């Protein structure tokens, strides 16, 4: 859990084993393709990328609004926020880190009606 200053509250909140996070690519659009260079096999692209983390809305650590990797008593909790993950986005074959033009984290809770 997080305190008002963005730090993890207590050592008891730190899990013994880091949770497994699986991000699903739910939408990807190629918006712009430019600077194609056949000699160097490079290009520049602008993408719209939408990732989903199922069950993430119920996790208070993921919903923290800061890009923090919490550390409690000098030990990482391995429960960073969704914004931290978003800022770590990279592509294996890029020549420069991706530039995030616009970012939005939505929290959607789905209810099952039976």
Alpha carbon distances (Å) from 24 to 50, 51, 65, 75, 87: 8, 5, 21, 29, 16
pLDDT at residue 34 above 90? yes
Question: pLDDT tens, 40-50?
Answer: 888 888 989 88
pLDDT at residue 14 above 50? no
- Assign 109 a pLDDT band (cuts: 50, 70, 90): low
Q: Average of pLDDT values for 63-89?
A: 85
Burial class for 8, CB neighbours closer than 10 Å (0-12, 13-18, 19+):
buried
Cβ atoms of residues 79 and 85 within 8 Å: no
65 or 5, which is more confident?
65
Burial class for 53, CB neighbours closer than 10 Å (0-12, 13-18, 19+):
middle
């Amino acid at each position: 859990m997080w305190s008002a200053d963005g730090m993890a509250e207590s050592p008891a909140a730190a899990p013994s084993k880091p949770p497994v996070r699986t991000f699903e690519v739910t939408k990807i659009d190629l918006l712009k393709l430019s600077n194609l260079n056949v000699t160097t096999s490079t290009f520049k692209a602008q993408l719209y990328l939408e990732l989903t983390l199922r069950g993430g809305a119920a996790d208070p650590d993921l919903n923290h609004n800061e890009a923090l990797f919490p550390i409690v008593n000098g030990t990482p909790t391995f429960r960073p926020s969704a914004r931290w993950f978003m800022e770590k986005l990279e592509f294996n074959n890029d020549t420069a880190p991706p530039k995030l033009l616009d970012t939005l984290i939505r929290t959607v809770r789905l209810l099952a009606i039976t």
